[in-house]
Amino acid sequence: MDRTFIMVKPDGVQRSLVGEIVTRFEAKGLKLAAARFEKLPEVRVTEQYQEHLTKPFFPSLKQYIMGGPCFLMVWEGRNAVAIARKLIGATNPSDALPGTIRGDFGIDIGRNVIHGSDSPESAAREIAIHFRQNELVTYTRIDESVLYEY
């Protein structure tokens, strides 16, 4: 099974969307492997968004992400990254389809509710930034036999 990193950003937390977002991932059939609610420290924000460090919007992005609590999760399932990206929708909410998280709840690209890993490699990197290996829980969902063709 594959894993992906998902983070409900401060605007999603402030808008009380955590439960709705968790419900969508569970209903799709992905399995929660880890979760934590916290305000992110600067060192992890910088590591998380390392590809944006030299971009002009990075200082405001960092301030925003550190400005309130985030809900961090690891989800597991076959093709977890691709499935999560489809659930999340396009980065710019104005381009996100209705029925996706950003399409239903996002308005502004700078406040787009949620972050999701964009590749299996990014997922592995981001999971390692935010979770220690012993914080990831392995178990079998009772409905896995009806979710997957083995």
Active site residues: 115
Helical segments of 3-140, H only? 10-14, 18-28, 42-48, 58-66, 80-88, 101-105, 120-130
Residue with tokens 């392995």: 138
Q: How far apart are the first and last CA of the chain?
A: 12
Q: How far apart are CA 41 and CA 19, in angstroms?
A: 24
What the block records as the tokens of 103 is 């399409």
For tokens 């787009």, the residue is 112
Token look-up 């209705």 returns 98
- Rounded CA-CA distance 104/89 in Å is 9
